[in-house]
Copies of this chain bind each other. A is one copy, B any other.
Amino acid sequence: MGQITLKTIAERLNISIATVSWVLAGKGKDRKISPATQERILLCASSMNYQPNMLARALTRGVSSTAGLILPSISDSFYSAVAKAVELALDRIDYSLMICSSESETLREKRMIGMLKSYQVGGIIIAPTEISKIELRQLINESCPLVLFDRFFPDLPASYVLIDNEESTFKLVDYLIRKGARRIACLTTNPHLHHMDLRRKGYEKALKKHRIEINPALIGEVAFHGYEKGVPATLDRIFHQVPDVDGFFFTSHILAIETFQYFRIHHPDYNRKFRLGCIHEEPLFQNIAPHISVAMMPVAKIGKRIVDMLAEQMKAKYSPAGTPLAAKESMNQSVLPCKIIIRD
């Protein structure tokens, strides 16, 4: 029942392992191996249902045809949607995917990177946590194909795929204001991450445009760890300090979800009372808040773009002809627009 290897086939056909390897690699012609022999090999391989051992192949080549994906949380709807898109895109270039969850823990993330490297993955895709810059810089130094997404560090010379954080936020908040909201709360998290900073900037820009003063009491920064408790506490504070708050902008769907649960109990008439806007949409948002405006994450495009970038770097580094791109030229930074869905 053992594994079918090149050796199995070679012995069966009384030829060398090398020849079998060449033919199965599709290089039979280049090596001018007789069509007859090629035929025999191909036939035998498929009849025995030969599957190359990827471990051995990767070990010889120095790299496997697997990419690694590190997410802050697998069970988040945005990240898992990206995972799916990435997997489908990798499929088309015959790459497998190893998905890992950092659980937003720097230490875990570090371990995951090490693990992926020890499996000699062809490249790494990561939505990084806070302090991971050192590790990332290391990867870049080793010219490991790398693509960041969602989150990024402006001073890190890496490829990344982002959404137009500031612009989308601006459009959403601008709309809330035009619809009459004047005291719009901004719920956000992970303030040390640049993309959240940009979203907040977009919020402030919209206020400025309408000459509304920024009220710090309306900003709710919720720590990511334990945000399930943090959101209600923050909302309590906001309602206490600004009882006539009339709008809410959420920098992330997870904050909106917690808020809706809070609203259900404390402000069941929230749909009439507040203007709402959110980055990313959950399927049931329309039921819960028919008027909420959202920035739709271009998930499929994000996945596609990530894989395109990674493929380019991998090709440059691993293909026999290619020369690894220097850090600078391999940098490829993509900012994708969100579709803004205005409701009401």
Contacts and interface: CB of A to CB of B under 8 A. Distances in A.
Interface of A: 1, 51-56, 58-59, 64, 66, 73-75, 77, 80-81, 83-84, 87, 96-101, 114-115, 117-120, 141-142, 257, 260-261, 263-264, 282-284, 286-288, 290
A74 B64 contact: no
A197 to B, nearest CB: 27
A80 B74 contact: yes
Contact of A64 (B51, B55, B84, B287): B55
Copies in the complex: 2
Contacts of A263: 287
A66 B120 CA distance: 14
Contact of A56 (B59, B115, B284): B59
Contact of A286 (B101, B119, B264): B264
14 contacts: A51-B117, A55-B59, A55-B119, A55-B120, A59-B59, A74-B87, A75-B83, A84-B101, A98-B98, A261-B287, A264-B286, A282-B284, A284-B284, A284-B287
Contacts of A53: 59, 118, 120
A141 B141 CA distance: 46
B64 A73 contact: no
B286 A54 contact: no
A290 B98 CA distance: 39
B286 A287 contact: no
A227 B81 CA distance: 18
Contacts of A282: 284
